[in-house]
Amino acid sequence: MKKAIFSKKFIILLVLIIVINSILSCGCWNYKDIENSLLVTGFAIDKSEREGKYLVTVEVLDFEMSGKEAKQTTKFIELKGKTIFDAIRNAINLGGKKLYWPHANIAIISEQIAREGITPIIDFIYRDSEIRSELNLVISKENTAREVLMQDMLISQTSSDCIHNMIHGQKIAGKFHNIMTYQLLSYIVSVDGILPAIELKENLGKKTAQLTSTAIFKSDKLVGYFDEEESQAQLLILDKIMGGVITINEDNSTTSEIALEIFKSKTKVKPRYIDNKLTIDIDVKIEAAIAENATNENYMSGKNFLKLKEDAEKKVKESIENVIKKSQLEYNADVVGFALEVQRDLPKLWRQVENNWDYTFKNIESNVNVSIQIINSGFTKKSITVK
């Protein structure tokens, strides 16, 4: 009896494996597909002021058949058109190979286009059935988006994959956002949006791409940036921190800093409406450990420990308050999520202020409370000194 049950389960499992394998096999390319296609890994979008045309630079993997094996090379193709779609279609005139888009994982947008409005780009991505809505978007702070895509590579991988991995590594770094196309669309339709921003930095004699800031959008137009510290504070407000480092300068020396590694973080945001005044309470709780102590002091006990805790809490609190004020007064862009909190917790009030949210947002008062628990950080309490 047990043998019969086992055999029945085995047959069901075998059938499932065959079905899944058949589905996956349908997605495989044959040699003809490989030879006639260029696999797109990412692209950059610029605009020519002189011609008024879009300039699209596409990074592709070109496969050439050698016997039964495909030899892979990375190439860049430059396309031009009155619209983005027109530029992409012009690729067929360059060798007759078709661009294959489902593997594209990054789109770099020039600052010029971002300031004019990125709706045409989002529209193009959503209308093209081959491009995935999980595509990551990033803003170039260089003169063009093209030069970021065509960066000098330090390691053997495509530029697009390098930038894509950099963005997804922010789960650990805790500095910048990982925003996909569908997420940006939901942001700018409801309130305002954000994207990571990238530029070229000198590294071992080469100019390589690095995430350096957060691009702030009012509706669909770029209006400014948050620097690295401000970006981290914004992540804290939105309860999006999964890791990262807080650096504290305890003796006003840039060479004697203490680094606190964030292990846990939880932010609660609560709107209150009393006496015709809207206030947002923000409560941040962080669990961190001393990851590096470049001073000659012991900060794991006594007065130094309490001072480090207070200074860390003060720094984070001031960073959060600065980001809120900058969002309200400099950009008037709600990229701190206040509208969503009011809509969820105070729906009746939201219906009253929704159509005039820009004015309401600028005048919101906020109360920020930060509590940091510093846990035992490892093998030694004191910094290592050389005598």
What is the crossing angle of helices 181-190 and 119-127, to 10°? 130
Q: Which residue has the higher pLDDT, 33 or 159?
A: 159
CA-angle at 346, arms to 274 and 286, nearest 5°? 85
Mean pLDDT throughout 209-232?
95
CA-angle at 142, arms to 136 and 146, nearest 5°? 60
Q: What is the pLDDT of residues 287-307, one digit of tens each?
A: 999 998 888 778 777 888 899
Q: What is the pLDDT of residues 140-188, one digit of tens each?
A: 999 999 999 999 877 767 899 999 999 988 877 888 888 888 778 777 6
Does the structure show a pLDDT above 50 at 16?
Answer: no
Do the Cβ atoms of 201 and 210 come closer than 8 Å? yes
Instruction: Tell me the percentage of the chain whose pLDDT exceeds 90.
Output: 53
pLDDT tier at 316 (50, 70, 90 boundaries)?
A: very high
| Residue whose structure tokens are 């990551």 | 136
Provide CB contacts within 8 A for 320, sequence distance 6+.
233, 236, 237, 282, 284, 368, 370
Yes or no: domain 236-381 corresponds to CATH 3.30.300.210? yes
Q: Which residue has the higher pLDDT, 60 or 254?
A: 60
Q: What are residue 294's phi and psi, to 5 degrees?
A: -90, 10
CA torsion through residues 315, 313, 241, 255, sign: positive
Q: What is the pLDDT of residues 335-378, one digit of tens each?
A: 999 999 999 999 999 999 999 999 999 999 999 999 999 987 54
Residue 333 CB neighbours (<10 A): 22
Closest-CA residue to 196 (of 131, 261, 125, 108): 108
How crowded is the C-beta side of 348, counted as CA atoms within 13 Å? Answer: 2
Q: How far is CA 152 from the centre of its chain?
A: 22
Does the structure show a pLDDT above 70 at 67?
Answer: no
* Residue 237 Cα distances to 263, 288, 314, 324, 343, angstroms: 16, 17, 15, 9, 17
Distance CA 79, CA 95 (A): 13
Show contacts of 62-70: CB within 8 Å, 24+ apart. Answer: 62/38, 62/97, 63/34, 63/35, 63/37, 63/39, 64/35, 65/31, 65/34, 65/35, 68/31, 70/31, 70/34
Do the Cβ atoms of 104 and 40 come closer than 8 Å? yes
| Residue whose structure tokens are 């969002």 | 327
* Domain edges within the chain: 30-226, 236-381
